Structure 1
Amino acid sequence: MDPALATVLVVITSAVVLVLGGVVTHLAYRAARRSGSPVMRRFAAGFGLVTLGLLLGGGAHQLLGWRFLDGVLLQRIVTVLGFGLLVHSLYSHADPEPASRS
């Protein structure tokens, strides 16, 4: 594949992932606020970190002039933290008291 085409495709797919990840994060955050659930807050934060990882990795490479692999490593570290938080939120015990529906 032509390197210029590959670059354009990486940028386009990254933008789509950022938009979709942002939407999922926003919806999870709204659900967390509505329910008052700490589990949902951790879930929203996990999705936020996964999405942020892509932004930070690409930004470090493109905007800060980091080497490509250094940017990828930063992305992977933040993504691992995000997925760890997602797993933690899914394996957490249910909230002791459901939020009141006012």
Structure 2
Amino acid sequence: MSSHTPALVVALKAITLALGGLISYLSYRAYRRTDARALGYLALGFGVITLGSLLAGVFDQFPTGFERNTALVIESALTAIGFAIITYSLYSE
């Protein structure tokens, strides 16, 4: 593993958090403006994915008692759930 890898992972997680948070916020604002339930689900889906990335980053960088594999499973599960919610938002009216 390169000595730059941990810093790169932190930078990429920070970018993911910023962009995911922005997409969630903008989707939520659009939902509040239009009352379109699909946009509410879209915001929720991106929020869940962003939360998964945030938790994985926290578990990776700080001593939480969780193993790396557990953090990976949590991130993967929240990503899958988030994408399922986004998919539902695309099919809901």
If the length of structure 2 is used for normalisation, what is the TM-score?
Answer: 0.92
SS of 2:4's equivalent in the other structure is helix
Q: State the distance in 1 between where 2:81 and 2:4 align.
A: 31
| 2:81 alignment partner in structure 1 | 81
Amino acid at match of 2:12: T
Q: State the distance in 2 between where 1:14 and 1:58 align.
A: 7
Amino acid at match of 1:67: E
Q: Radius of gyration: which is bigger?
A: 1
In the TM superposition, 1:57-68 aligns within 5 A as 57-63=56-62, 64-68=64-68
Residue ranges of structure 2 left out of the alignment (5+ in a row)? none
Larger RCO (CA within 8 A; separation ≥ 6): 2
Residue ranges of structure 1 left out of the alignment (5+ in a row)? 95-102
| Matched length | 92
Structure 1 or 2: more helix by fraction: 2
Q: State the distance in 2 between where 1:62 and 1:6 align.
A: 12
Q: State the distance in 1 between where 2:84 and 2:4 align.
A: 34
Percent identity over paired residues: 37
| 1:97 alignment partner in structure 2 | none
Per-residue CA deviation, residues 64-86 of structure 1 (Å, 9 max, x unaligned), is 13111110110010111100000
SS of 1:66's equivalent in the other structure is coil
Q: State the distance in 2 between where 1:74 and 1:38 align.
A: 27
In the TM superposition, 1:17-96 aligns within 5 A as 17-63=16-62, 64-92=64-92, 94=93
Q: State the distance in 2 between where 1:66 and 1:30 align.
A: 35
Q: CA RMSD in A?
A: 1.2
